[in-house]
């Protein structure tokens, strides 16, 4: 085989690997965003907890994990305080890389799915709300969109009255 054919074969293999990695990255981000939107609507509409568990997706994550996908390729930086909106709840995630954050979210999703299939007697609503908050953080981190605290509406009302 000639040198250029060998080099082209190497190039073609690398291009295929890069395209596959890029597609996986897009699929995973789409799955995370879809889970966030679904969970927001489910919590807002007081959907049954078993139905929420069924609606959460993890297929792309599981496939990515099996193929040794590098989750840090989605977002190479670690979580910063500016992204977390200085919420105290998120301080434990500061400095963590994207792989840690994504695996943490999906471990929560998989746990909630398991708990809902065994008909756990406890109310899982607090866990779903916690998952929603962490999903918000991870999606904000990936999209480089900092979370911002809402101003306290009561403090705004007090400020208007004092004028």
Q: What is the pLDDT along the chain (163 residues), one digit of tens a residue?
A: 677 677 667 666 666 655 555 788 899 999 999 999 999 999 999 999 889 999 999 999 999 999 998 999 999 999 999 998 888 999 999 999 999 999 999 999 999 999 888 876 678 889 999 999 999 999 999 999 999 877 765 544 544 454 4
Q: Is 140 helix (H, G, I), strand (E, B) or coil?
A: helix
Angle at 38 between CA 25 and CA 47, to 5 degrees: 155
Angle at 107 between CA 103 and CA 113, to 5 degrees: 145
Q: Which two tokens stand for residue 162?
A: 């004092």
Q: Which two tokens stand for residue 95?
A: 């400095």
| Domain residue extents for the chain | 20-156
Residues 97 and 77: their CA atoms lie apart, in Å, by 7
């Amino acid at each position: 085989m000639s040198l250029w054919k060998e080099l082209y074969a190497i190039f073609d293999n690398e291009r295929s690997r890069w395209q596959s990695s890029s597609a996986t990255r897009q699929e995973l981000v789409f799955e995370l965003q879809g889970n966030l939107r679904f969970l927001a609507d489910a919590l807002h509409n007081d959907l049954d907890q078993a139905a929420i568990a069924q609606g959460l997706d993890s297929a792309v994550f599981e496939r990515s994990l099996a193929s040794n996908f590098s989750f840090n390729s989605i977002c190479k930086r670690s979580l910063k305080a500016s992204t977390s909106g200085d919420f105290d709840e998120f301080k434990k995630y500061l400095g963590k890389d994207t792989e840690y954050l994504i695996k943490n979210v999906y471990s929560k999703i998989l746990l909630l799915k398991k708990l809902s299939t065994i008909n756990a007697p406890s109310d899982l609503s607090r866990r779903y709300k916690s998952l929603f908050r962490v999903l918000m953080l991870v999606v904000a981190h990936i999209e480089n969109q900092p979370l911002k605290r809402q101003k306290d509406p009561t403090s705004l009302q007090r400020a208007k009255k004092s004028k």
